[in-house]
């Protein structure tokens, strides 16, 4: 009881800080989420110490980002993504290869040890779609061709990142690399995405009528929220991020006739729960461990490398859309967010990383999430809307 009360205070503080941060960010024409992340950094353990990331807060944060990607999926139709499939695939693949190769050579130059270097490189790979998706949604840009490419690429990116992580963990542990196992894992993940995408879309087109028969206006929402939470969990069983499952759930729910009503009903849910994701992202930046010259240089190098390599990968993959659009896609792919954090935690647990490298990789992942949004917002603003 007492503990729950203490967390109730943190819940209030996080929510209030997110409102103030979002409001201040809007006042200086930055996206809300930037203000929320910075507010999180301020009230987190590094500065004011008003909140401490804990399991209940992590769960609220996870539910928040799951609902966010679901709502983004709700504005993304499978047919539209299929139309940009080629670009999305190219962005996903090139956007993984370049950061991985460059990251590996950079880590090798710091300490010549290939298994360890490949492990470090894995932290440079995966894009975290949550923050970019929030910006695209906030700016009303989800119908743009660049947004579809980014979201499609994020799915491919996540599959590749998961496979790469499996490979580097196996190499680092000294185990033999079982190509057969990897192929099965890859096939399962791809199969999950395809089955949910095609079968789900087909079922939903038929489900609209059935949902019309229910008299309760909340019934469609309850059905699709169940689907969203279910697929989010199933995605993790296939080694993918929960948000990929939620995005797919949203995408197939976008076939429902009730999608406009559903989109409106999602608004209060996002308003309540996404602040926990952004504030907690900010609160995880551990400034104290980075407060020395060497660590700061390392962080600067890692962050620049992470930004430049992903930007290049995204840009090259999407170049057929024109260089300006390719730039938007590249910037949109920059945030690493939680995947880098997972790699860092695995590396620390396996004894591959020391304290400093661990803090650097986490800070790099978060810095990319803080740096990208203002640029993305700027690029989107200075350009007329271009629908597919």
Enumerate binding residues for a copy of itself (CB under 8 A).
Answer: 1, 3-5, 7-9, 11-12, 15-16, 19, 55-56, 58-60, 62-63, 66, 218, 221-223, 225-226, 229-230, 232-233, 236, 242, 265-269, 271-272, 342, 345
Closest to 3 in 3D by CA, of 56, 58, 46: 56
Q: What is the spatial distance between Cα 359 and Cα 363, in angstroms, rounded to a whole number? A: 6
Q: How far is the CB of 32 from a copy of itself (least distance, A)?
A: 10
340 near 307, Cβ under 8 Å? no
247 near 74, Cβ under 8 Å? no
Judged by CB, which is closer to a copy of itself: 228, or 331? 228
Judged by CB, which is closer to a copy of itself: 9, or 101? 9
Judged by CB, which is closer to a copy of itself: 220, or 313? 220
**Tokens encoding 217:** 């206006």
Reported residue count of the chain is: 388
Judged by CB, which is closer to a copy of itself: 189, or 266? 266
Judged by CB, which is closer to a copy of itself: 205, or 237? 237
Q: How far is the CB of 7 from a copy of itself (least distance, A)?
A: 5
Judged by CB, which is closer to a copy of itself: 98, or 223? 223
Q: How far is the CB of 19 from a copy of itself (least distance, A)?
A: 6
Closest to 8 in 3D by CA, of 65, 51, 62: 51
Q: How far is the CB of 177 from a copy of itself (least distance, A)?
A: 23
Q: How far is the CB of 331 from a copy of itself (least distance, A)?
A: 26
Closest to 129 in 3D by CA, of 226, 22, 241, 238: 241
Judged by CB, which is closer to a copy of itself: 12, or 198? 12
Phi, psi of 273 (to 5 degrees): -100, -30
Q: How far is the CB of 321 from a copy of itself (least distance, A)?
A: 32
Rg for the chain (alpha carbons), in Å? 20
> Burial code of 235-274, b = ≥16 C-beta within 10 A, e = fewer?
beebbbbbbbbbbbbbbbbbbbebbeebeebbeebbeebb
Q: What is the largest CA-CA distance in the chain?
A: 66
Q: What is the spatial distance between Cα 199 and Cα 276, in angstroms, rounded to a whole number? A: 33
Q: How far is the CB of 220 from a copy of itself (least distance, A)?
A: 11
């Amino acid at each position: 009881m007492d503990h729950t009360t203490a967390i109730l205070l943190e819940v209030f503080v996080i929510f209030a800080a997110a409102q103030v941060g979002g409001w201040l960010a809007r006042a200086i024409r930055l996206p809300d989420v930037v203000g929320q992340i910075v507010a999180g950094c301020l009230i987190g353990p590094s500065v004011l110490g008003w909140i401490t990331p804990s399991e209940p807060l992590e769960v609220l944060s996870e539910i928040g980002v799951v609902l966010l990607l679901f709502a983004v999926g709700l504005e993304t139709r499978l047919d539209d993504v299929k139309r940009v499939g080629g670009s999305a695939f190219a962005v996903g693949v090139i956007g993984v290869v370049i950061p991985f190769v460059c990251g590996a050579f950079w880590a090798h130059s710091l300490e010549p040890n290939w298994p360890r270097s490949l492990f470090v490189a894995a932290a440079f790979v995966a894009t975290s779609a949550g923050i970019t998706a929030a910006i695209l949604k906030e700016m009303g840009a989800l119908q743009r061709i660049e947004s579809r490419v980014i979201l499609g690429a994020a799915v491919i990116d996540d599959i590749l990142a998961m496979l790469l992580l499996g490979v580097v963990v196996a190499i680092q542990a000294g185990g033999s690399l079982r190509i057969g196992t990897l192929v099965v894992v890859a096939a399962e993940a791809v199969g999950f995405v395809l089955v949910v995408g095609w079968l789900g879309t087909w079922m939903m087109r038929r489900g609209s009528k059935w949902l019309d028969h229910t008299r309760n206006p909340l019934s469609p929402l309850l059905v699709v929220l169940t689907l969203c939470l279910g697929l989010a969990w199933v995605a993790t069983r296939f080694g993918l991020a929960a948000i990929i499952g939620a995005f797919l759930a949203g995408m197939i729910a976008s076939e429902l006739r009730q999608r406009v009503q559903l989109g409106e009903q999602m608004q209060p849910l996002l308003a309540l729960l996404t602040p926990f994701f952004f504030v907690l992202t900010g609160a995880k930046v551990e400034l104290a461990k980075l407060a020395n010259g060497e660590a700061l240089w390392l962080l600067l190098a890692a962050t620049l490398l992470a930004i430049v390599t992903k930007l290049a990968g995204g840009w090259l993959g999407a170049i057929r859309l024109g260089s300006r659009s390719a730039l938007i896609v590249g910037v949109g792919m920059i945030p690493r967010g939680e995947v880098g954090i997972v790699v860092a935690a695995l590396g620390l647990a396996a004894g591959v990383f020391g304290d400093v490298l661990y803090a650097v990789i986490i800070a790099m992942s978060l810095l990319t999430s803080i740096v990208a949004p203002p640029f993305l917002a700027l690029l989107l603003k200075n350009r007329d809307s271009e629908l597919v």
